[in-house]
Structure 1
Amino acid sequence: MITPRTASGVLELLPAEQIAFQRMLDTIRAGYERFGFLPVETPAFEVSDVLLTKSGGETERQVYFVQSTGALEKAAAQPDPGLPELALRFDLTVPLARYVAQHEHQLAFPFRRYQMQRVYRGERAQRGRFREFYQCDIDIVGSGELSVRHDAECPAVIHAIFSDLDIGSFTIQLNNRKLMRGFFEDLGIAGEQQAAVLREVDKLDKRGPEAVRATLRAEPFGLPEPVADRVLDLVTVRSTSHADALAQLDKVEGASAGSAVLAEGVAELREVLELVRAMGVPESDYALNLAIARGLDYYTGTVYETTLDDHPEIGSICSGGRYDDLAGHYTKSRLPGVGISIGLTRLFWQLREAGLVDVAESTVQVLVPQVEESLLSEQLALVTELRHGGINSETVLDGGRLGKQLRYADRAGIRFVVILGPQEVEAGTVTVKDLRRQDQFTVPRAELLRALRVELAQPLV
């Protein structure tokens, strides 16, 4: 016998948990559509040379390749078979770049898409790290140019979705890579050293300012003490209100040596902050955080991270930012964009571990048991009536003791059992058992749908 088991790095849920996960997916999808984003799906695998557009990236070293049995046999017969033809996508951004470049002349710009699919990475097996996981992305892609005003839409979307998910208070943190780049250039930090410093300051909230300062002073950075201090002064800036965020930006710009790049970044952040407030995001739910770098070369302007106020240990629950050229590997057209991503599998796992999500009620609302074999036609007519009335219903087709059928409903998480026995048929009624409230009532069959809708609309206390 083969022991049934899953591979490491996957999240497989029981039905009650899967329903809770699915409802989070549905909430995110509804939020994306409410803001005018259109659905896109791409294949789980891409042609390898299309997917692997550059070499040396950590993510691309985690790629799973795809080969059929026949392809494996063919490759084994060749002295140098090279890379397999196909590879599983490791994120949704590279497939989006390919998609937009391929369909550029069929799309309306700015192109607003959402995509919610699984991605695959060869992560090192460890608790809370997944090799197969859902990403839920939105992007706004422009043709030639894209106004920075679109950068303000992402925090508005984030706020709407996480308010709907109702998983606790949260803060959307914003920064701008141009501001950081200009500030570092003023200090004489440029090129590869700048990229390395950005990597280090992005760890500030995890490592703390003293650890980051010590690293910047030591080799290979070797920053002079006054330079390291100025870097720490910048990246420890956090705003406490909208007015404070604008004041902090004025202070940063006032201390600049005149960097045009920094001034551009400050101007963009000011405009984004003003528009975020205009879109109705409460100022208590967003803040300036000048430590956020979000990667190295990919993001070029506004960047975002979102954290739960009461659970900072979970880390960012939604992140993203602005990029100058989405599809430069695939087209000569300039396609700037801005987007965010929710890694839902990891987020769900973290929320479950923190006790912030519960298992969900069954999606089945009513069970119609079989009381007597002779009443099967009446039973089937009743369950069909419920389904046509919009009530998710299951029926028992193979009979058995009524008590056993009731225990099944309770174990399966079905709240209502609608009983149609000989007495009910004769009286033109049905008996409704509410297994959650441990109660029952009898109603005329013609009023059953209305009665169930009333009961379902009332919160359980």
Structure 2
Amino acid sequence: MKVTKLSGFPEYLPAERVVEQYFLDVIRETFELHGFTSLETRAVEPVDRLVGKGGDADKEIYAVSRLADRGEASGKEPELGLHFDLTVPFARFVLENAGKLTFPYRRYQIQKVWRGERPQEGRYREFTQADIDVVDVGELSSHFEAEMPLVIAEVFSKLPVGRMTIQVNNRKIPEGFYRGVGIDDVAGTLRIVDKLDKIGPAKVKTLLVEAGRTEEQADQCLALAAIRTEDLSFVDRVRELGVQHPTLDEGLEALSAVIQSGLDNAPGAMVADLKIARGLDYYTGTVYETQLDGYESWGSFCSGGRYDALASDGRTTYPGVGISIGVSRLLGLLIGKGLVTASRATPAAVLVAVVEEASRRDSAAVAKALRARGIPCEVAPTAAKFGKQIRYADRRGIPFVWFPGSGDVAHQVKDIRSGEQVDAGPASWAPPAEDLRPVVVAADQSP
């Protein structure tokens, strides 16, 4: 039967999977260094909850049903959909388990999500996200809004991805600014301004005017969105536009605190970028997007923000702030452009040769001893001539081949890259640290 590939569902070859796992390990370890605890939620949520929390997300939701129920509306169970992000299921989890959690609750979540959008470069229907969030009861301290980008800056400092710039804004700035110039439809204006990177200022202005804003209001919106600074000078530049509103003042103060935290703890990692809006309706405060320097046309790989009303049971509200790394999006472009590479496609550092099938147990014993000491290895699949076994190791990218000894014949291990072969003991020999595991580096730094 002919296999037809499904677009939008990435699957990695072995060397690419090594890269993905390395990225996920770095992300997870960094999140845990900052005290975030792991969470995994179910893949499905009631569709009415997904639709109610995601702006235009209803256009992207995959519905889930049993084949046996197709065409039959039982009316007993809610319609289910695959979650399109991890924030909505996280908020639901908090509501269901509030009495069992300790607040502020810090969690990280690394899972698959699904969106029914048109597949294209860096855009998938199924992909992995890595989120961190902090939620509290009733009120959430603003210092958490400054913490989120600092954690992300630390993650990216450990990954071979080049310089990443975290663009930060506060939704209260455009909200107060828009109201100050007489615009009442803040959410609609934000959604249009959020298209700036995709369609440019001229088309955004046209859309704003078509949506009922005056030419002067549209120009003011674009003037605000054009402000981008690496320090606190954005405050003066906003003031120069001559717009006054209390909400604008709150936003400028909050964003100043975040940018100052970046200047103090991760210089150069953050910029105040007042065009960042984020399309999802539930954001209420600081918002984030992240771009790879030199590849800005790829768009954002990491985004999020503060939300004050996403998790509420009608009596108690659990405000939160979070940020999400689009792992599959980032890797798809890095791998696709050949910007990162793995030193080998297998975790095995050693291939234990088999002298003859009758002595396979001896080779297995060597492998067991090496693994007990944390050295990844595999046993040769056949007792072929040693030259053929060495070629097998070379094709797999395994750097060392172990030749078992017997009686007075010592064990020997060969570095097949240099040809050096030395006596070795299963209880004492170890490969150089850089060969113990596959190494993932930027392509121009590959060994």
Q: If the length of structure 2 is used for normalisation, what is the TM-score?
A: 0.91
CA 270–332 in structure 1, closer or farther in 2 if over 3 Å, else same:
same
Q: Which residue of 1 aligns with 2:249?
A: 263
What's 2:315 paired with?
Answer: 332
* In 1, Cα distance between equivalents of 2:241 and 2:434: 63
Give SS of 2:341's match.
coil
CA contact (8 A) 1:198 1:293 kept: yes
- Partner amino acid for 2:203? A
Q: Equivalences for 1:355-374 in 2 at 5 Å? A: 355-361=338-344, 362-374=346-358
Q: Is the 8 A contact 2:149 2:166 kept in 1?
A: yes
* Alignment-mate amino acid for residue 434 of structure 1: D
1:230 maps to which residue?
220
Equivalent residue, structure 1, for 2:443: none
1:443 and 2:426 equivalent? no
- Equivalent residue for 1:121? 115
Percent sequence identity over matched residues?
43
Shift, 1:406, TM fit: 1.8
Provide, for residues 188-210 of structure 1, a one-character-per-residue CA deviation record: whole Å limited to 9, x for no partner.
Answer: 0112xx32322222222333333
SS, match of residue 303 in structure 2: strand
Residue deviations 1:155-199 (CA, integer Å, cap 9, x gap): 1011101111120112111111101111111100112xx323222
CA shift for structure 1 position 131: 1.2
Tell me the equivalent position of 1:426. Answer: 408
Q: Which residue of 1 aligns with 2:266?
A: 281
Give the direction of change, closer, same or farther, for the CA distance of 1:131–1:274 in structure 2 (3 Å limit): same
**Alpha-carbon distance in 2 for matches of 1:310, 1:70:** 51
* Pairwise CA RMSD: 2.5
Post-superposition CA distance 1:323-374 (Å, at most 9, x none): 112213x453111111111111121111122221224522111110101334
Which one of the candidate residues 147, 152, 167 is aligned to 2:161?
Answer: 167
Aligned residue pairs, count: 439
SS at match of 1:304: strand
2:4 maps to what in 1? 5
Name whichever of 382-391 and 204-213 sits farther off. 204-213
The Cα offsets for residues 256-284 of structure 1, whole Å up to 9 and x where unpaired, read as 54411011111111112222233x201x2
Q: Secondary structure at the match of 2:22?
A: helix
Q: Is the 8 A contact 1:253 1:262 kept in 2?
A: no
Name stretches of at least 5 consecutive residues in structure 2 with no aligned partner: 440-445
Retained in 1: the 8 A contact 2:367–2:379? Answer: yes
1:168 is paired with a residue whose SS is coil
Counterpart residue type for residue 336 of structure 1: P
Corresponding residue to 1:314 among 289, 294, 298: 298
Residues 95-104 or 202-211, more deviating = 202-211
SS of the residue corresponding to residue 339 of structure 1 reads: strand
Question: Equivalents in 1 of 2:368, 2:54: separation in Å?
Answer: 59
Residue type at the aligned position of 1:430:
H
For the residues of structure 1 that align with 2:426 and 2:354, how far apart are their CA atoms? Answer: 20
Please give the alpha-carbon distance, in whole angstroms, between the structure 2 residues aligned to 1:234 and 1:37: 35
**Alpha carbons 1:20, 1:360 under 8 Å: kept:** no
Q: Is the CA contact 2:53–2:281 (under 8 Å) kept in the aligned structure 1?
A: no
1:105 deviates by 0.7
Between 1:268-277 and 1:36-45, the stretch displaced more is 268-277
CA distance in structure 1 between the aligned counterparts of 2:241 and 2:51, rounded to whole angstroms: 40
AA aligned opposite 2:190: L
Distance in 1 between the 2:120 and 2:426 partners?
56
Q: How does 1:77-88 map to 2 (within 5 A)?
A: 85-88=79-82
Paired residue secondary structure (1:439): coil
Distance in 2 between residues matched to 1:98 and 1:305, nearest whole Å: 24
Aligned to 2:366: 382
> Greater helix share, 1 or 2?
1
Find the partner of 1:298 among 282, 292, 298: 282
2:57 to 56, 59, 79: 59
Whether the 8 Å contact between 2:370 and 2:427 is mirrored in structure 1 is: no
Cα separation, 2, equivalents of 1:212 and 1:175: 19
Cα distance, 1:13–1:332 mapped onto 2, change above 3 Å: same
Question: Unpaired segments of 5 or more residues in structure 1?
Answer: none
CA 1:228–1:122: 2 relative to 1, 3 Å: closer
Conserved? CA contact 2:45–2:81, under 8 Å: yes
Residue 85 (structure 2) aligns with:
91
Answer yes or no: is the 8 Å Cα contact 1:48–1:86 preserved in 2: yes
Task: Give, in angstroms, the shift of residue 230 of structure 1.
Answer: 2.2
Residue 40 and residue 331 in structure 1: after superposition, are their counterparts in 2 closer, same or farther (change >3 A)? farther
Is residue 2:193 matched to residue 1:201? yes
TM-score, length-scaled by structure 1: 0.88
Q: Is the alpha carbon distance of 1:364 and 1:127 closer, same or farther for their aligned partners in structure 2, counting shifts above 3 Å?
A: same
